[in-house]
């Protein structure tokens, strides 16, 4: 088996159907298996997708176990030499996944390969990034500072926006929206850290791969469209809070500091989270 495809679903019926419909062209001649893990959607979305694509297997969790844990379930339940982990709101362009596997086969010390990710309007999603530092929570992709001052040096460093993303290269980390992983690297380094419920598990995984001597590569000529809507519609409060809790866990894990400094940093991050929750409530009204 060349490739195992693992899709984590949570109430994403139409995106999941579109994702599965695009996969045959995306994987090309690869021998594949496809597994959908449903995190207790309760809306029949995963069942509808499997009914439309009879070759797809389904694992239905009784509760929402989070993204990282569900990915690890998928890795354990499949056997391909490579594993595609992809959000159901992604659609692979023809040959994109096959190109990522080809890249990994040609580079035996590369653990993870990610595509050029585009927004539905064709603009670039900054999916290849520098490792976060102490100011990243203020200058990340969705932050107010990045929107008001897009050319500030902190956002440019983190988003790698000075680079045109038109070439293949090694990077610090890649968005987990679409990644192909080498199973041998997963076996050595381990799966995603399940302490991350959702968000930040991808940057942690990439950092651990680097730490074990593996490469992480952005592949410019593999293209995936990501139908993300977080910047254009109301975001669930739990998503906001889990994203910020993930930031705290990441920094405690990879940048341990004096307990007082850690506590102050955590308080600042969660204060930002609650401001976003308040803004979210205002947006809803």
For the chain, the residue count is: 285
pLDDT-wise least confident of 22-31, 79-88, 179-188, 232-241? 232-241
Q: Is residue 224 part of a domain?
A: yes
pLDDT-wise least confident of 54-68, 69-83, 146-160? 146-160
Q: Which pLDDT belongs to residue 206?
A: 98
Q: Tabulate helix, strand, coil % of the chain (nearest 5).
A: 40, 20, 35
Q: Which residue has the higher pLDDT, 196 or 256?
A: 196
CB 180 within 8 Å of CB 82: yes
Q: Is residue 77 part of a domain?
A: yes
Could you tell me the pTM of the whole model?
A: 0.89
Q: Is residue 153 part of a domain?
A: no
Distance CA 67, CA 158 (A): 23
Total domain count, the chain: 1
Residue 176 pLDDT > 80: yes
Distance CA 86, CA 198 (A): 14
pLDDT digits (tens, 9 = 90+) for 130-145: 998 766 655 555 555 5
* CATH number of the domain that residue 39 is part of: 3.90.550.10
Over pLDDT 90: what percentage of the chain?
68
Q: Is residue 46 part of a domain?
A: yes
Q: Is residue 146 part of a domain?
A: no
Sign of CA dihedral 248, 251, 254, 258: negative
State the virtual CA torsion across 90, 71, 59, 97 in degrees, nearest 10: 40
Q: Which pLDDT belongs to residue 59?
A: 97
Q: Is residue 157 part of a domain?
A: no
Average pLDDT over residues 184-192: 98
Distance CA 228, CA 65 (A): 21
Q: Is residue 257 part of a domain?
A: no
Q: Is residue 52 part of a domain?
A: yes
Residue 173 pLDDT > 60: yes
Range of the domain at 118: 3-126+165-230
Tokens 């809070």 map to which residue?
A: 241
Residue 257 pLDDT > 90: no
CB 39 within 8 Å of CB 109: no
Distance CA 114, CA 125 (A): 12
Q: Which pLDDT belongs to residue 89?
A: 96
């Amino acid at each position: 088996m060349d490739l195992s495809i693992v899709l984590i679903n949570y109430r994403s019926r139409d995106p999941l159907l579109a994702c599965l419909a695009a996969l045959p062209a995306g994987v090309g001649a690869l021998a594949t298996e496809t597994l959908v893990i449903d995190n207790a959607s309760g809306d029949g979305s995963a069942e509808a997708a499997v009914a439309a694509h009879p070759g797809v297997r389904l694992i239905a969790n009784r509760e929402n176990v989070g993204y990282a844990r569900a990915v690890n379930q998928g890795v354990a339940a499949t056997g391909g030499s490579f594993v595609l982990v992809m959000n159901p709101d992604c659609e692979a362009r023809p040959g994109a996944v096959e190109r990522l596997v080809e890249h990994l086969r040609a580079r035996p010390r590369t653990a993870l390969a990610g595509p050029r990710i585009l927004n539905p309007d064709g603009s670039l999603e900054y999916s290849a990034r520098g490792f976060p530092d102490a100011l990243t929570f203020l200058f990340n992709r969705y932050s107010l500072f990045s929107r008001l001052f897009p050319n500030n040096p902190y956002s440019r460093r983190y988003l790698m926006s000075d680079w045109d993303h038109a070439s293949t290269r090694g990077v610090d980390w890649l968005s987990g929206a679409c990644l192909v992983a080498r199973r041998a690297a997963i076996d050595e380094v381990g799966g995603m850290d399940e302490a991350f419920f959702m968000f930040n598990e991808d940057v942690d995984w990439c950092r651990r791969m680097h730490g074990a001597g593996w490469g992480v590569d952005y592949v410019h000529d593999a293209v995936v469209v990501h139908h993300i809507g977080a910047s254009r519609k109301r975001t669930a409060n739990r998503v906001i809070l889990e994203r910020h809790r993930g930031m705290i866990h990441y920094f405690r894990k990879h940048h341990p500091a004096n307990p007082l400094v850690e506590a102050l940093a955590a308080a600042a991050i969660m204060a930002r989270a609650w401001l976003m929750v308040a803004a979210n409530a205002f947006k809803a009204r």
